[in-house]
């Protein structure tokens, strides 16, 4: 399949949270391949450094990796300030970091609830808060928040995760209204079943279970990290400059 080229993304500053592995790593690879100046934050230092080496060998510009615990908002702000000092105003923010830990409703403690909200929602708000002034200064930008079809389908084992991912859509709608006059677009992507290495290891070791879920898709082919990255590229590009306050399902039509 031919990769679409978005000339306008070349040399633009793109900031990605949770970019060291899975869908986040696909974002890093995709934006770097477009010639963007990419920075990504992640708590996994080994994976982050390995990705930098991989992408540097394949792209004309190596991404910048900043280790960061996104649960620590002071650390998040410091990491974003470091990226800003190195690269300048961000044109694109991809709020990707998340954790789809399965839980039993009756067993969720207040501490576990707070952790799930922190890892799936809180940093999304504060990363956007930090990047909006940069986008205002450059005359516009694109914020892409990662939601999930989990909240739409009512996933049984994901009560807190689904709540956070639904809240991201609400935040997307509100923020889009607030910063639209500054020509900042805010959209969400809701992936379907994307089998990353982590997903296969923790939740889908059984190929039959994967096949059964794919059989419920309107399009039976696997939804891959590459598919999600392609949507992000479009939403970051000038070709989507009149699109905001939307949530795009990339799920093969999963019912």
Q: Quick one: tokens of 51?
A: 């990705």
Question: What is the set of active-site residues?
Answer: 161
Q: Residue 129 contacts by C-beta under 8 Å, 6 or more apart in sequence?
A: none
The C-alpha R_g of the chain, in whole angstroms, comes to 17
What distance in Å separates the CA atoms of residue 43 and residue 238, rounded to the nearest whole number? 31
| Cα gap 140→161, rounded to integer Å | 31
Q: Hey, what are 206's tokens?
A: 């059984």
Q: Distance between CA atoms of 228 and 135, rounded to whole angstroms?
A: 23
Question: CA 98 to CA 166: how far, in whole Å?
Answer: 13
DSSP 40-77: EEES-HHHHHHHHHHHHHHSSSPPEEEE--TT-HHHHH
Estimate the share of the chain in helix, then strand, then coil, as percent rounded to the nearest 5. Answer: 50, 15, 35
């Amino acid at each position: 399949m031919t990769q679409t080229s978005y000339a306008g993304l070349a040399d633009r500053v793109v900031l990605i949270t949770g970019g060291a592995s899975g869908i986040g790593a696909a974002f890093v690879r995709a934006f770097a391949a477009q010639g963007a100046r990419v920075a990504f934050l992640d708590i996994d230092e080994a994976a982050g450094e390995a990705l930098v080496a991989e992408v540097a060998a394949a792209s004309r510009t190596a991404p910048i990796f900043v280790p960061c615990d996104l649960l620590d908002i002071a650390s998040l702000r410091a990491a974003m300030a470091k990226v800003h000092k190195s690269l300048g105003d961000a044109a694109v923010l991809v709020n990707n970091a998340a954790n789809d830990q399965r839980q039993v409703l009756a067993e969720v403690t207040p501490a576990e609830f707070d952790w799930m909200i922190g890892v799936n929602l809180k940093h999304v708000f504060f990363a956007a808060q930090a990047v909006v002034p940069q986008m205002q200064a450059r005359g516009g930008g694109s914020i892409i928040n990662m939601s999930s079809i989990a909240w739409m389908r009512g996933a049984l084992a994901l009560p807190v995760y689904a709540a956070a991912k639904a809240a991201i859509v609400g935040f997307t709608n509100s923020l889009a209204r607030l910063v639209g006059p500054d020509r900042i677009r805010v959209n969400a992507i809701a992936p379907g079943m994307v089998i990353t290495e982590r997903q296969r290891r923790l939740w889908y070791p059984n190929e039959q279970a994967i096949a059964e879920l794919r059989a419920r898709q309107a399009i039976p082919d696997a939804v891959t990290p590459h598919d999600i990255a392609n949507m992000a590229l479009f939403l970051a590009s000038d070709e989507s400059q009149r699109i905001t306050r939307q949530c795009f399902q990339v799920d093969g039509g999963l019912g």
